[in-house]
């Protein structure tokens, strides 16, 4: 194990915790933290690959600008959120707000952009303002999810793969538009992007863009080679909407594959509701959800660990930056 060069601002490391906890003196400056991080990247990487996520506690990150300074100093290889499926605001080239999805709703666990061919390997989350109640970002280790998952479900996904289907409206409709999703109004650019990422695309008469991504659902980690649960089945499957909303949307859109998002097995067969329910229940047994502290920074290995969001009240500001 790489030894951590320990400056005076670092009190201790709990390296067996999930996430690993780096405890800094309360109010440690952005500059001191960036210097610490830069001289310890190897040890931090080892902790990240072993535990999947690291929490840096006690930092003096109070604003979007502070977070931007931190990630610009310690990160590289940033990627944008083009092709993302969650409503969020771009604050700069490297920082986004965390999802602006209805605060009263839970966002189920997912590995960011696992439905796409271009996902971030790491994500930084930072809490600028903690919610009055709730608003945790639950984390689940995909190795543990896989260990706990019913073997028939694993076999079905491994043998057939998954097809994620999205219908992105052209400016008026439910969910994000294709213009917002791809950060452009240029349809030709979108088509080029789809071709580059081997996405099937089709324009409908009403201007909706229909997309299909064929993905594995269970992958090997790109560095450690470990097998991990890496998909968003429960987030794309219509059951996550609840029976009432599903019935309303079905009446509006018709078949499941016409809904804004849906998922089937790779051969087009339906994923049974009971299977999705079992997936959600299994993931729930693995989830760790701790309350946010303001100034807290969490680094997540996006292939090893999925994240979600608990419902909240009050004002909550959690920022996100994604790295290739
Ligand atoms: Fe996310």
Domains of the chain: 10-138+289-323 (3.60.130.10), 143-284 (3.60.130.10)
List, in sequence order, every residue forming a beta bridge with 202; answer none if it has no partner.
210
Q: Give the E-state strand segments of 118-199 in sequence order.
A: 122-129, 133-134, 139-141, 162-168
pLDDT of 2 over the 70 cut: no
Q: Does 85 or 160 have the greater pLDDT score?
A: 160
151 CA to centre of ligand 1 in angstroms: 26
Q: Report residue 223's pLDDT band, with 50, 70 and 90 as the boundaries.
A: very high
pLDDT tens track for 5-25: 667 888 899 999 999 999 999
- What the block records as the tokens of 135 is 């608003």
**Per-residue pLDDT at 282:** 97
85 CA to centre of ligand 1 in angstroms: 9
- 3-state class of 297 per DSSP? strand
114 CA to centre of ligand 1 in angstroms: 10
308 CA to centre of ligand 1 in angstroms: 6
206 CA to centre of ligand 1 in angstroms: 29
List, in sequence order, every residue forming a beta bridge with 305; answer none if it has no partner.
141
Dist CA 110 CA 86 (whole Å): 11
314 CA to centre of ligand 1 in angstroms: 20
109 CA to centre of ligand 1 in angstroms: 8
Classify each residue of 58-71 as buried b or exposed e, where b means 16 or more C-beta atoms within 10 Å of its C-beta: bbbbeebebbbbbb
**Per-residue pLDDT at 129:** 95
98 CA to centre of ligand 1 in angstroms: 7
112 CA to centre of ligand 1 in angstroms: 5
317 CA to centre of ligand 1 in angstroms: 14
């Amino acid at each position: 194990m790489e030894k951590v060069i320990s400056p005076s601002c670092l009190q201790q490391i709990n390296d067996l915790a999930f996430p690993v906890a780096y405890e800094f003196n309360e109010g440690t400056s952005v500059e001191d933290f960036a210097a610490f991080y830069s001289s310890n990247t190897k040890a931090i990487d080892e902790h990240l690959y072993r535990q999947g996520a690291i929490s840096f506690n006690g930092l003096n990150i109070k604003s979007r600008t502070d977070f931007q300074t931190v990630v610009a100093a310690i990160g590289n290889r940033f990627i944008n959120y083009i092709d993302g499926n969650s409503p969020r605001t771009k604050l700069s080239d490297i920082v986004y707000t965390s999802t602006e999805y209805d605060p009263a709703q839970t966002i189920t666990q997912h590995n960011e952009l696992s439905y796409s061919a271009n996902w971030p390997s790491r994500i930084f989350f930072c809490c600028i303002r903690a919610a009055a109640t709730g608003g945790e970002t639950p984390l689940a280790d995909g190795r543990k999810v896989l260990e706990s998952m019913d073997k028939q479900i694993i076999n079905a996904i491994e043998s057939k793969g998954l097809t994620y289907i999205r219908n992105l409206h052209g400016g008026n409709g439910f969910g994000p538009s294709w213009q917002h999703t791809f950060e452009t109004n240029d349809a030709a650019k979108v088509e080029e992007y789809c071709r580059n990422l081997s996405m099937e695309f089709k324009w409908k008469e009403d201007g909706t863009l229909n997309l299909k991504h064929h993905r594995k659902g269970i992958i090997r980690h790109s560095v450690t080679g470990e097998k991990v649960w890496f998909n968003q089945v429960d987030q794309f499957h219509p059951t996550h909407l609840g029976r009432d909303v599903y019935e309303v949307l079905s009446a509006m859109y018709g078949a499941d594959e016409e809904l804004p998002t849906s998922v089937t097995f790779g051969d087009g067969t339906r994923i049974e509701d009971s299977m999705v329910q079992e997936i959600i229940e299994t993931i729930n047994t693995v989830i760790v959800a701790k309350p946010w502290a303001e100034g807290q920074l969490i680094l997540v290995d996006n292939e090893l660990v999925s994240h979600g969001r608990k419902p909240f009240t009050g004002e909550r500001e959690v920022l996100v930056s994604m790295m290739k």
